[in-house]
Amino acid sequence: MNAPTKIETTLKDWETDQEVRWCPGCGDYAILKAVQRTLPQLGCDPAKTVFISGIGCSSRFPYYMETYGFHTIHGRAPAFATGAKLANPELDIWLVTGDGDGLSIGGNHLMHVLRRNVNMQIMLFNNEIYGLTKGQASPTSREGTKSPSTPIGSYDHPARPAAFALGAGARFVGRGFDVSKNLPDVLKAAHAHKGAAFIEIFQNCIVYNKDVFDDFAAPKGAEGQQLWLEDGKPMLFAKDTKGIALNRQTLSLEVVDVVDGDWEAAGVVVHDVTNRSIAHMLVEMPFGAFPMALGVLYDDPRPTFEDAVIAERAKVSEGKEANLAKLLGKGQTWTVSGTAQDPV
């Protein structure tokens, strides 16, 4: 969402005096910096900005932001945020959750905050593991993940956060990864979107699930596996030598080679952030055969929950007086005499 008046701040203004307690090298540090770098650029007011989180390594985030912050309970941050937003719609809410927090214990709340479309930015730090509880498999862990609770390898099928969000009715779905220089742009787009904006951020847990995203997120040499989506631009990757086309026979996406930059000839799709059908295909695109779709996958606002609540209250209150004495004496009453009291 957009703050009404822009405030001048620097990155320093958004840092707290609290010692950051993530493991050295944890991807969470990079995300923290990206957020602290982005907020001054957006002109946000620290007093009106709030960070609300659940429980997990990722959910420690609010302690490090010099804003109002609420570190709540495991999985329920969307519900706290909904109450806070309805109580004060002026708050600029950032929600921080993890793959366990948001998709395991809190999957229900995440679904409902998205379908209700409460205006806030939701950052899901996906490290495909339970970090804080020391490395058990999470709902996004890939099949075969070995962990203390799955010593032979996990066998349940992983959830895909972006697909979940879109399926739940999200009107903004973005993706980035911890050390990506483009992450601030995704955050800015999410902030500009009025409504629940869902951002999946791949995050490296170097202790319990080290480098599992290296195939597309390694600091060097993985760019060829990144499809950065931009509205109105063709879906090109690998230095524009490859693109994504729509196979009209199978109604599915496919990777095509682009010769001499002639993407049109190769049938490469132009990204339209409001095209929900394409968005569904992008979030389902299997990595490996396809590059990782990053950036703004979908962005098509619709009315928010808090606006509907406010409008309803205004409508039903119109011409009504909030007179408690009258309310108490409502309905069929009778008077026991000896009193001058008239029915109110």
Partner 1 sequence: MATAATEGPHGLHESPEAIVVRFAGDSGDGMQLTGGQFTLSTALAGNDLATFPDFPAEIRAPQGTLFGVSAFQINFGSREINTAGDAPDVLVAMNPAALKVNLAALKPGGLIIADTGAFTKRNLDKAHYEANPLEDGSLAKFDVLAFDISEKTIEAVKPYGLGNKDALRSKNMWTLGLALWMFDRPRNPIHDWLKAKFKSKPDIADANIAALDAGHAYGETAELAGPLKQVHVDPVPSEPGLYRTVTGAEAVSLGLVAGAQLAELPMFFGGYPITPASAILHHLARLKEFGVTTFQAEDEIAAVCAAIGASWAGQLGVTSSSGPGIALKTEAIGLGIMTELPLVIVNSQRGGPSTGLPTKTEQSDLYQAVYGRNGDAPMPVIAARSPSDAFEVAIEACRIAVEYMTPVMLLTDGYIANAAEPWKVPDPDTFEPFPATFLDQPNDGENFLPYKRDEKGARPWVKPGTPGLMHRIGGIEKHELTGNIDYSPDNHQRMTDARKDKVEGVVVPDQEVCLGEPSGRLAVVGWGSTFGPIHRAVDNCRRKGLDVSHIHVRHIWPMPKNMGELLRGYEHILVPEMNTGQFKTVLRDQFLVDAQPLTKTSGQPFQIAELEEEIGKYFDGIEDNEGGEVAVNEEQLPNLEAGHDDGTYPDAPFHGDSAVPSGRDTDSEGVNQ
Ligand X SMILES: Cc1ncc(C[n+]2csc(CCOP(=O)(O)OP(=O)(O)O)c2C)c(N)n1
Q: Which of 188, 211, 198, 31 is nearest to 103 (CA)?
A: 198
- When binding is defined by CB under 6 A, the residue of 40, 62, 78, 98 that contacts ligand X is 98
- At closest approach, how far in Å is the CB of 46 from partner 1? 6
Q: Are strands 226-229 and 252-257 parallel, antiparallel or unpaired?
A: unpaired
Our CB check for Mg ion shows the closer of 57 and 285 to be 57
- When binding is defined by CB under 6 A, the residue of 121, 127, 154, 180 that contacts ligand X is 127
Q: Residues 139, 100: contact at Cβ < 8 Å? A: yes
262 binds partner 1 (CB under 8 A): no
The set of residues, in sequence order, having a beta carbon less than 8 Å from that of 209 and lying 6+ positions away, is 127, 128, 129, 135, 141, 145
Phi, psi dihedral angles at 43 (to 5 degrees): 75, 25
Q: Read out DSSP for 137-185?
A: --TTPPTT--BTTBTT---SPPP-HHHHHHHHT-SEEEEEETT-TTHHH
Residues 78-107 that bind partner 1 (CB under 8 A): 78-88, 90-91
Selection from Mg ion, ligand SF4, ligand X, none that 101 binds (CB < 5 to 8 A by kind) is ligand X
Run of H or E residues at 80: helix 77-87
Our CB check for Mg ion shows the closer of 135 and 184 to be 135
Q: What is the arrangement of strands in the sheet containing 242-247, beginning at the earlier edge strand?
A: 236-237, 242-247, 252-257
How many chain residues bind ligand SF4 (CB under 6 A)? 11
Helices of type H across 285-323: 305-317
Q: Which region, left, alpha or beta, applies to residue 21 given φ > 0 means left and ψ of -120 to 50 means alpha?
A: alpha
Residues 141-160 that bind Mg ion (CB under 5 A): none
- When binding is defined by CB under 5 A, the residue of 127, 141, 209, 225 that contacts Mg ion is 127
Our CB check for ligand SF4 shows the closer of 206 and 266 to be 206
Q: Residues 194, 301: contact at Cβ < 8 Å? A: yes
Rounded Cα–Cα distance for residues 321 and 116 (Å): 30
212 binds ligand SF4 (CB under 6 A): no
- At closest approach, how far in Å is the CB of 133 from ligand X? 4
Our CB check for partner 1 shows the closer of 52 and 297 to be 52
Q: Which of 81, 143, 97, 65 is nearest to 306 (CA)?
A: 81
Residues 50-69 that bind partner 1 (CB under 8 A): 50, 52, 55, 62-63, 65-69
Our CB check for ligand SF4 shows the closer of 82 and 138 to be 138
99 binds Mg ion (CB under 5 A): yes
| Chain residues that interact with Mg ion, rule: CB under 5 A | 98-99, 127, 131
| Chain residues that interact with partner 1, rule: CB under 8 A | 16, 18, 46-48, 50, 52, 55, 62-63, 65-73, 76, 78-88, 90-91, 108-109, 111-112, 309, 312-313, 316-317, 320-322, 324-325, 327-339, 341, 343-344
| Chain residues that interact with ligand X, rule: CB under 6 A | 55-58, 74, 98-101, 125, 127, 129-133, 138
| Chain residues that interact with ligand SF4, rule: CB under 6 A | 22-23, 26, 28, 57, 127, 131, 205-208
